[in-house]
Structure 1
Amino acid sequence: MSDVRYPFTAVVGMADLRLSLLLNAVSPAVGGVLVRGEKGTAKSTMVRALAGLLPSIAVAEQCRFACDPAAPDPQCPDAPHGAGSHERPARLVELPVGVTEDRIVGSLDLEQALAQGVKAYEPGLLAQAHRGVLYIDEVNLLQDHVVDLLLDAAAMGRSYVEREGVSVRHAARFLLVGTMNPEEGELRPQLLDRFGLTVEIAATREPAERAEVVRRRLAYDADPAGFAAGYRADERALAEQIARARELLPAVELGDAALRQITAVCAAFEVDGLRADIVMARTAVALAAWAGRTRVLEEDVRKAAQLALPHRRRRNPFDAPGLDEEQLDRTLSEHSEPEEPTEPEPDGDGPDGDGPGDGGPGDGGPDGGGGAPEPASADAPSADPAGPDAPDAPETSSPEAAPRLPKPGGPAPESSPVAAGEAYRTRLFKVPGTGHGARGRRSPAETDGGHTIRARRPHGALTRLHLSATLQAAAPQQLARGRSGRALVLRTDDFREQVRKGRESNLVLFVVDASGSMAARQRMTAVKGAVLSLLMDAYQRRDKIGMITFRGGGAELALPPTSSVEVGAARLEQLPTGGRTPLAAGLLRAHEVLRLERVRDPLRRPLLVVVTDGRATGGRGALAEAGRAAGLLAAQGTAAVVLDCESGPVRLGLARTLAGQLNATAVTLDELRAEGVAALVHAHRSPSQRKAA
């Protein structure tokens, strides 16, 4: 792979992404940018190219934390600094998906600190990114506590390392850029709110523009250095414009009229908190500086709203980010400053002969030309996983419209998708035992968070010291070690680390019966509402989800295991019903999916949720086959829940029989609601626990 970066000015299109990155380069106080889009849309290419446009920085000699020699950080661990300094380019630091907290903030050697009194600190990625760019690819795949730590540092401009009374602090101011593919899972609203701006991007559908993208990429791959040389003049001009805008930024005036428009827009869109108002104000000021103006105009406020508000409009995890352009224009118009009447000039020009459009600073656009940044198109692609062509929810059918029950052994007529019922809070289902998976909010596990339950010898580097256990291990050896005075004599074998018990996230695999026996519209609406509620619960508990549906001739993996509950909700909404009931095929497909997932992610324990009335097409033979498939899952020790969807005055109890074969908990749709089952709060118990009861 070539070391020559693809030029920023060579990227085709992506106007909003280009502008957002440049605004953050001008004013890092904007708070970074989150880039949302499908794979293969040059997200990473543009971010990496941005670093080459940033001005070089002066760094104090022998400082690992990139302190500015003109204003060094008084808390820098490498202080005091000498008089020497050198210049170097601003760094681009990339954060890997599997990064640990110690790698981000730096690691402190507790053994040396306690045994030798030496504060041995190795700077982390935040120190490396100081005064540069911190790039997080696939930010939505990071653990929540890691994302929160990064955003805290970005907001405060400082990193803290605290280990058993030993404290290290250093400056960490950087331009934060995150990219993500919404199909792989969303960031939570509280984390979304911490990013200053967000941009939705998608590949162009224009053949000529796509051809130009391919042409430039092939030319770059053939001769990276020669291709970059062709854009060197454009890159230099853009870097100079960034430097000029930075110099102009302190002189930009945010008038009362513009500030009123900003607060009115945030209030009109019912944005939570005041962070949006502050980000919009900073963005509008940066837009004015980028355009070469010293005063914020209404066009700056409009563009700032389009970049700063869409991701703050989400009210639940199934909402797509967006902004109503008509409401935005109406709010800006209602709170615009009335123009003062002026006497007409005889020649139609201003008193100095400078009419509008004269090319002066007041008309500078984001690219140095005339006009302000164009607002994002109202026809921009939606982030809704269901897509623009998702079927509308059908009207509620009357009882007479319900499909007839299929004849024994015969196929049922297929029904069009029905809308899901309203979501509600469900009972908590847990996987029995103690796991070791990723931190979450569902099942008990040993994690790096939670409360301390015991001590043990360190596994690897010591990061969570158990002080009392360490002292107890060292105390009996003090006489033999020749202790003198009050200080303890500690050795490596004495150290003990904490074992903490918290909660983990799981893989919740839904197996949904979509056959003719479930096709009554009113019942399927309730069933979909129940599954949607369980999806919401999985989102809140940080789980991965997957979905298998079975109907007609077999079972289909409708949603491979993913963190995106939004996609799961969309697939559920589009799910048709009808046909035979191949229950065994659904269970066997679940067995295969879970087998593969144990290989891919062995620490993530599964929870199987089977949504069925227990029927199987083919009589007793089909039910026996389903029982054997259930036995395979039970033999694997798979924790399971059967959502019994059987209804009507006569019930066969087939779903509860299936639950017994799976060693699973069986609940009805009514029992699923958390508020109605005080006696069933402790939702899932292991077979041994049930026998003991």
Structure 2
Amino acid sequence: MDDLRLSLLLNAVSPQVGGVLVRGEKGTAKSTMVRALAGLLPSIAVVDGCRFACDPAAPDAQCPDGPHDTAAPAAERATRLVELPVGVSEDRIVGSLDLERALAEGVKAYEPGLLAAAHRGVLYIDEVNLLNDHLVDLLLDAAAMGRSYVEREGVSVRHAARFLLVGTMNPEEGELRPQLLDRFGLTVEVAATREPVERAEVVRRRLAYDADPEGFAERWAQQEKELAARITAARALLPAVLLGDPALRQITAVCAAFEVDGLRADIVMARTAVALAAWAGRTEVTAEDVRTAAQLALPHRRRRNPFDAPGLDEEKLDQTLEQSAAEEPDGGPDDDGPGPEGPPDGGGPDGPSGGGQDAPEPEASGQENSGEESAPSRTAPAPPQPAAPAASPYRTRLLTVPGLGEGAGGRRSRARTDSGGHTVRAARPTGALQRLHLAATVQAAAPHQLARGRDGRALRLRRDDFREQVREGRESNLVLFVVDASGSMAARQRMSAVKGAVLSLLMDAYQRRDKIGMITFRGSEAVLALPPTSSVEVGAARLEQLPTGGRTPLAAGLLRAHETLRLERLRDPRRRPLLVVVTDGRATGGSQALPDARRAAQLLAAQGTAAVVVDCESGPVRLGLAAELAQHLAGEAVRLEELAADSVTHLVTDLIHTDRGHSKQKEAA
């Protein structure tokens, strides 16, 4: 946990570092570490009675509770740790305006949100990867600008919102988009220790705390007091720390060598290196500060693909730092980065020693090969063939669930939504007014103004006049893949194309914020290879290891899909499913195999499941069984070669050319 501890302390010293994202498996005390930080932060002085924690020495000129009397006595309180629940609404985060009073009385009745409560403190988001994207965007924008804005129907409120942002997540439950990862200053990976002695000490301390919480806290009080004093001293030293040109050149050279997008990484590394120097009690940034800053600020910014794991090549980092340090201080702009003989030629993950967190990729491949070599030694009626590699992914056509849903926000199917999207109509509010439809409200109130005695100055409104917006946007879905891994699909080139198609659909699901699940069927059974999850990375890994061979129990695969979707409807009734069956439509295992598969498909259709069959049949003679299966599912059939988005464009182009050709033939005739 050393990296996590250091990252939290550096942000405590310099909140401009930009916060911390903590990635790790469950049960690793991520939340405990974050909550412990608040007790180490110095207390703050606030304007007495201000709901926005304004600093008496420099009150916010735009504070809704202002203007403040700087001569009034100040109050002092502990630094707050504000926790953001997963199901939080936008109004709870930024605060809400009483629109009825604002329109009828002209009063700005503003109720502060969690951003106001977190000002000059810590904002902690547990399971940040499960938060809706638009809420994460809102939080990160506020953290970057240091200010929160509330704009509703011409009524505007803004206030300062500077806080230390900390998020925790379990990657198994889904990833953040790379654009959102980039907005966190630092990212650390945490895992439980595998050393029995250390694990025993953790258990021992926890039991001691449970037995005597006050005595346990007293035992560590002096160390915590010393740590808090060191944070205060580092904050005081921070303005005096010098970031020299050699250190700055190392920072920019490292960012250029690792090809990170934009310049945010350079700025974050510079601020982190300065904070490291202040934490160490120094007034000058060293090369070791730059190295540590790179290890904390760069791994999550190197992702180029949704399935890439964060990581940093340590050997390449060392070579870049050494090369930059060896350059002439007076070198021109062309000398400020790795040259043609720089680190990309050595020390990469393909080098002799691997190095860094990129190295496990060849190891994973080796483990797969090891499994393949041992496979023939196992006796089985239909031994699986070696797993075929997936073809390169591509952009797929959009597959949607028909109708209008009400599920979690996303980018796939049409849905009613409380945020995002566009307004389609106005309606009477059923509860508290959330999004006022101004034109419809005025239109509803206008015919009654004479009867209400309007004197020409203000619009006289009543509760029944108010109308709110009904918005339509996009939702995320549960995309359940049912993949045929039987002998009829076992041709290596064919299975490679099938895996490439499924991988492309997985990438599409990642971009559209869907949950995904995967069922595979071969031999005599169907297996839930991946229970529904938000982690498409796990789905890609299971797909890569998928063996093929044996009979084709199509009915078993469809029945397993029926049962999986039944359970998911109980867990998450608002999320609509999309069933994607990847098969050639064949069913083997007896004379009843095909009729059983058709009955299973009809059962799914009766359940109202939206379905798409990706037809993998190839060759000059086609039986059309996949298309028949799609009819029984009441769904759509898509040929494998037509799944790519480009193929739709080519199809339209071919039709246009065909129509033009026919027209020319008619003119010639």
* TM-score of the alignment, normalized to the shorter chain, above 0.5: yes
> Which residue pairs with 1:58 in the alignment?
45
| Contact 2:405–2:416 (8 Å) recurs in 1 | yes
CA shift in 2, pair 1:547/1:436, >3 Å: same
1:508 CA drift (Å): 0.6
Alignment map for 1:206-285 (pairs within 5 Å):
206-285=195-274
Alignment map for 1:391-540 (pairs within 5 Å):
412-447=382-417, 448-540=419-511
Residue 177, structure 1, aligned to residue 166, structure 2 = yes
| Contact 1:443–1:504 (8 Å) recurs in 2 | yes
Segment drifting more, 411-420 vs 127-136: 411-420
C-alpha offsets along residues 275-317 of structure 1, whole Å, 9 cap, x if unaligned?
0000000000000000000000000000000000000000010
Residue 598, structure 1, aligned to residue 569, structure 2 = yes
Which amino acid counterpart does residue 288 of structure 1 have in structure 2? A
Which amino acid counterpart does residue 481 of structure 1 have in structure 2? R
| Contact 1:438–1:604 (8 Å) recurs in 2 | yes
Residue 96, structure 1, aligned to residue 104, structure 2 = no
Query: Which residue of 285, 288, 292 corresponds with 1:296?
Result: 285
Which amino acid counterpart does residue 27 of structure 1 have in structure 2? S
Query: Which residue of 527, 536, 542 corresponds with 1:571?
Result: 542
Which amino acid counterpart does residue 28 of structure 1 have in structure 2? P
Superposed CA RMSD in Å reads 2.2
- Superposed structure 1 runs of 4+ greater than 6 Å apart: 377-384, 392-395
| Contact 1:382–1:388 (8 Å) recurs in 2 | no
Which amino acid counterpart does residue 17 of structure 2 have in structure 1? V
Which amino acid counterpart does residue 310 of structure 2 have in structure 1? P
Distance 2:173 2:463 in 1: 43
For these two proteins, the number of residue pairs brought into alignment is 619
Distance 1:58 1:587 in 2: 64
| Contact 1:137–1:179 (8 Å) recurs in 2 | yes
Report the secondary structure of 2:166's partner residue.
strand
C-alpha offsets along residues 14-34 of structure 1, whole Å, 9 cap, x if unaligned?
110000000000000000000
> Which residue pairs with 1:662 in the alignment?
633
1:74 CA drift (Å): 0.7
CA shift in 2, pair 1:533/1:393, >3 Å: farther
Distance 1:36 1:248 in 2: 30
Which amino acid counterpart does residue 425 of structure 2 have in structure 1? R
1:477 CA drift (Å): 1.0
Report the secondary structure of 2:284's partner residue.
coil
> Which residue pairs with 1:48 in the alignment?
35
Residue 674, structure 1, aligned to residue 645, structure 2 = yes
Which amino acid counterpart does residue 408 of structure 2 have in structure 1? A
Distance 1:547 1:469 in 2: 46
1:678 CA drift (Å): 2.9
Distance 2:405 2:591 in 1: 38
Report the secondary structure of 1:442's partner residue.
strand
Query: Which residue of 27, 51, 71 corresponds with 2:14?
Result: 27
1:673 CA drift (Å): 1.2
Distance 1:677 1:479 in 2: 59
Which amino acid counterpart does residue 618 of structure 1 have in structure 2? G
> Which residue pairs with 1:10 in the alignment?
none
Distance 1:456 1:491 in 2: 15
Distance 1:656 1:630 in 2: 12
- Structure having the higher helix fraction is 2
C-alpha offsets along residues 329-365 of structure 1, whole Å, 9 cap, x if unaligned?
111011115799xxxxxxxxxxxxxxxxxxxxxxxxx
Which amino acid counterpart does residue 402 of structure 2 have in structure 1? P
Report the secondary structure of 1:330's partner residue.
helix
Ranges in structure 2 where 5+ consecutive residues have no aligned partner: 330-352, 653-669
| Contact 1:126–1:172 (8 Å) recurs in 2 | yes
> Which residue pairs with 1:347 in the alignment?
none
Which amino acid counterpart does residue 274 of structure 1 have in structure 2? L
Segment drifting more, 469-478 vs 594-603: 594-603
1:38 CA drift (Å): 0.4
Residue 17, structure 1, aligned to residue 4, structure 2 = yes
Distance 2:32 2:461 in 1: 51
Report the secondary structure of 2:39's partner residue.
helix
| Contact 2:46–2:55 (8 Å) recurs in 1 | yes
Distance 1:383 1:130 in 2: 41
Which amino acid counterpart does residue 611 of structure 1 have in structure 2? V
Distance 1:387 1:101 in 2: 44
Distance 1:387 1:500 in 2: 49
CA shift in 2, pair 1:609/1:383, >3 Å: farther
Which amino acid counterpart does residue 205 of structure 1 have in structure 2? R
Distance 2:48 2:82 in 1: 20
C-alpha offsets along residues 206-226 of structure 1, whole Å, 9 cap, x if unaligned?
111111111111111221111
Alignment map for 1:156-175 (pairs within 5 Å):
156-175=145-164
Query: Which residue of 75, 81, 84 corresponds with 2:62?
Result: 75
C-alpha offsets along residues 152-207 of structure 1, whole Å, 9 cap, x if unaligned?
00011110000101011111111110000000000001000000000011111111
CA shift in 2, pair 1:338/1:528, >3 Å: closer
Report the secondary structure of 2:5's partner residue.
helix
Ranges in structure 1 where 5+ consecutive residues have no aligned partner: 1-13, 341-376, 398-402, 404-409, 682-693
Distance 1:587 1:339 in 2: 67
| Contact 2:80–2:122 (8 Å) recurs in 1 | yes
Residue 649, structure 1, aligned to residue 642, structure 2 = no
Distance 1:388 1:239 in 2: 43
| Contact 1:453–1:500 (8 Å) recurs in 2 | yes
CA shift in 2, pair 1:235/1:455, >3 Å: same
Report the secondary structure of 1:650's partner residue.
coil
Report the secondary structure of 2:591's partner residue.
helix
> Which residue pairs with 2:306 in the alignment?
317
C-alpha offsets along residues 58-97 of structure 1, whole Å, 9 cap, x if unaligned?
1111100011111111111111224122111100000000
1:680 CA drift (Å): 7.0
Which amino acid counterpart does residue 226 of structure 1 have in structure 2? G
| Contact 1:158–1:170 (8 Å) recurs in 2 | yes
1:676 CA drift (Å): 1.4
CA shift in 2, pair 1:104/1:451, >3 Å: same
Which amino acid counterpart does residue 418 of structure 1 have in structure 2? A
**Identity level (%):** 80
Query: Which residue of 581, 588, 592 corresponds with 1:610?
Result: 581
1:464 CA drift (Å): 1.1
Which amino acid counterpart does residue 168 of structure 1 have in structure 2? V
1:649 CA drift (Å): 2.9
CA shift in 2, pair 1:532/1:339, >3 Å: closer
Segment drifting more, 329-338 vs 206-215: 329-338
C-alpha offsets along residues 635-682 of structure 1, whole Å, 9 cap, x if unaligned?
11111000111122332221111111001111111011111123878x
TM-score by length of 1: 0.86
Segment drifting more, 654-663 vs 312-321: 654-663
Residue 85, structure 1, aligned to residue 74, structure 2 = yes
> Which residue pairs with 2:667 in the alignment?
none
1:552 CA drift (Å): 2.1
Alignment map for 1:344-363 (pairs within 5 Å):
none
Alignment map for 1:545-564 (pairs within 5 Å):
545-564=516-535
Distance 1:456 1:411 in 2: 63
Alignment map for 1:101-116 (pairs within 5 Å):
101-116=90-105
| Contact 1:588–1:629 (8 Å) recurs in 2 | yes
Residue 631, structure 1, aligned to residue 618, structure 2 = no
Report the secondary structure of 1:53's partner residue.
coil
1:123 CA drift (Å): 0.5
1:486 CA drift (Å): 3.3
